[in-house]
Amino acid sequence: MQEQLRKKSKLKSRYWHISHWIQKVNYIFILLLLVLTSVAYILFSDNNDERNLFISNQSDIQSMTIYKNVYMSNQSSQTITDLQTIHRIVNQINSAERVKATEIVFEKGPEGLLVFKFMNDASLHIPFFQNSGDVLYKETLIDADLVKWISAAQMR
């Protein structure tokens, strides 16, 4: 009788250790799953933290140069120093709709280039399509409709 009780006790103890071990493995698995989910979200999510896409501090801008027909012999350029006009264009780009450019096949690349000059002698080059006014920036196509803004800026 005592022998049977001892065997039952050992068996219960063994089952308890096994179930305790399984419980620990489950906790580790859940923790690992949460970490992997967080990492995947960070890496593959469409972050909207780029709403101020390329210029967050517009007061640092000194000028903007518009280059048209960049890859052709009849290339033209115009430098704009009116900060109000530059800020309108930047705000238009920052607030426009965005699409992943990796999902789009382009017949040809952007023909225009916006070059922003900053007070610290840095510059930022932003390609754009002359016909549509869309901006191509870091694998993102921005439906900025810059045609009217650039035309208005060039009229000044």
CA dist list (Å): 132 to 69, 110, 137, 151: 14, 10, 15, 12
Taking the C-alpha atoms of residue 132 and residue 64, their distance in angstroms, rounded to an integer, is 19
Taking the C-alpha atoms of residue 35 and residue 27, their distance in angstroms, rounded to an integer, is 12
Own/partner pairs for 42-51, CB < 8 Å, 24+ apart?
A: 46/100, 50/140, 51/94, 51/95
pLDDT of residue 59: 73
Q: Is residue 67 predicted with pLDDT exceeding 50?
A: yes
Taking the C-alpha atoms of residue 50 and residue 156, their distance in angstroms, rounded to an integer, is 30
Domains of the chain, by residue range, sit at 1-45, 58-155
pLDDT of residue 117: 92
Which of 10-24, 52-66, 96-110 has the highest average model confidence (pLDDT)? 96-110
Q: For 58-155, CATH number?
A: 2.60.40
Q: Is residue 46 predicted with pLDDT exceeding 60?
A: no
The answer to whether the predicted template modeling score (pTM) of the entire model surpasses 0.75 is: no
pLDDT of residue 51: 44
